[in-house]
Structure 1
Amino acid sequence: MKKLKLIEQIHQAGVVAVLRGDSPDEVVEIAKRAIEGGIKVIEVTMTVPFATEAITTLSKMYSSKDPHADNYAIIGAGTVLDAETARITILAGAEFVVSPGFDRDTIMLCNRYRIPVMPGAVTVHDIVASLELGVDVVKLFPGNLYSPSVIPSLKGPLPQANIMPTGGVNLDNLHEWIKAGAFAVGIGSDLTKDALKSGDFNLITEKARAYIHAFKEAQTSRK
């Protein structure tokens, strides 16, 4: 039940912040600003030096399971390339695992511990292979290789597939992705690039608010 509830909470949240940075402290600060702006699903990528330190810190900081609580957020790990790394991130406190590609052993490891895993997919073969291993959400990556129309095209033969585009999603096209049937969307550098360039992390909070506003509007118009 915990796994299914978590997947539903990610779906309801709608926007996943994919965070990279030069240090755990920087990523923690970025995450805090994004959460303050309303993005409640945080993916700390394993390209961050000592990334598990950031995952542990954030997992302790946002420990509430109540979506209405101030200290509520879902903390996960991204850019997980193998089962060994997945296990390390789970022990560090990651509640979900995301990979840029399909790796059977990573999926099996996450299934063993009932942790949601979102492998990257580029082809129909990738999606079908993921579904066969019990994957609940497939990450369409890189999303900028496609237009939003790819989702209804894929869900024609595979209506059971939950697809989360990541890479190339921005404020201009988020509405199109949600309208097309995206399970959620992953937001990367567009959320943080202005703040990192200027040193003004308040810009992250402002951009996060804009993304949540755009998501809610898109969600409303889809009903």
Structure 2
Amino acid sequence: MTADLTDLLAKVRIVPVLTVPDATTAAPLAEALAAGGARCAEVTFRTPDAEQVVKAMAAQGDLVVGAGTVLTAEQAERAVAAGARFLVSPGLDDEVIVAARELGVPVAPGVATATELMRAVKAGLDTVKLFPAQPLGGRAMLRALAAPFPGVRFMPTGGIDAAALPGYLAEPSVLAVGGSWMATPALLKSRDYAEIRRLTAEAVKGSMT
């Protein structure tokens, strides 16, 4: 299961993190992301319409859609039922990890300390989300955590923008970077799909250099 997520992130390198308040924007949003070259997206479970957004975006077929901000086993079940193919949590929760295994989907729990990282490794995981990456100390924190755990790969997320992207992707321990700058709440509210497509294309291009 972790191998599946590792392979996916290693291929996509960029994971747009989406907080979508209105499910009617899901289909055109998916189209804009795919047109920009994105192959994967994480829909956060922070809004009432999150399940409908996952379902609508997954139905487009152009993106591998996962669910983020998964806090409970019940949310994990709802996300997978809606079509989520992977789960991401802001922190490390044993029940969410167990639920993901029972549901047969990969999970990337969030870690912010070496203790949490040790718990993730003990749980059999080798891919984690460093969150919130920038407030924790950015690449310096990433390197500090990665050094004692050479077998672990990271998806740093939180406070990262286009300018910081190349530096993170250059780190050997980083599989992919998660970020919301490609589809900000303001862009979603104004339904500026052209700008979302442009920013996504820019990020995808940057991930290939």
Asked if TM exceeds 0.5, the reply is: yes
1:196 deviates by 3.6
Q: 1:181-204, CA deviations, whole angstroms, 9 ceiling, x for partnerless residues?
A: 31110011x112363465422000
The AA in structure 2 aligned to 1:211 is A
Mapping of residues 7-18 of structure 1, within 5 Å: 7-18=6-17
Mapping of residues 85-100 of structure 1, within 5 Å: 85-100=75-90
The yes-or-no answer on 1:191 pairing with 2:182 is: yes
Runs of 4+ aligned residues of structure 1 deviating over 4 Å after TM superposition are none
The AA in structure 2 aligned to 1:15 is I
Contact 1:195–1:202 (8 Å) recurs in 2: no
Aligned length: 206
The yes-or-no answer on 1:22 pairing with 2:14 is: no
Contact 1:24–1:49 (8 Å) recurs in 2: no
Give the corresponding residue for 1:59.
Answer: 58
Contact 1:138–1:164 (8 Å) recurs in 2: yes
What secondary structure, in the 3-state scheme, does the structure 2 residue paired with 1:76 have?
strand
Give the corresponding residue for 1:213.
Answer: 205
Give the corresponding residue for 1:74.
Answer: 64
Task: Provide TM-score, normalisation by structure 2.
Answer: 0.91
1:132 deviates by 1.1
Q: 1:61-109, CA deviations, whole angstroms, 9 ceiling, x for partnerless residues?
A: 21xxxxxxxx3x2111011100111011111111000111111000011
Quote the Cα distance in structure 2 between the aligned partners of 1:212 and 1:30. Answer: 16
Amino-acid identity (%): 29
Give the corresponding residue for 1:202.
Answer: 194
What secondary structure, in the 3-state scheme, does the structure 2 residue paired with 1:171 have?
coil
What secondary structure, in the 3-state scheme, does the structure 1 residue paired with 2:170 have?
helix
The AA in structure 2 aligned to 1:167 is G
- Cα RMSD (Å) of the superposition? 1.7
Q: CA distance change for structure 1 residues 197 and 50 in 2, over 3 Å: closer, same or farther?
A: closer
Any unmatched runs of 5+ in structure 2?
A: none
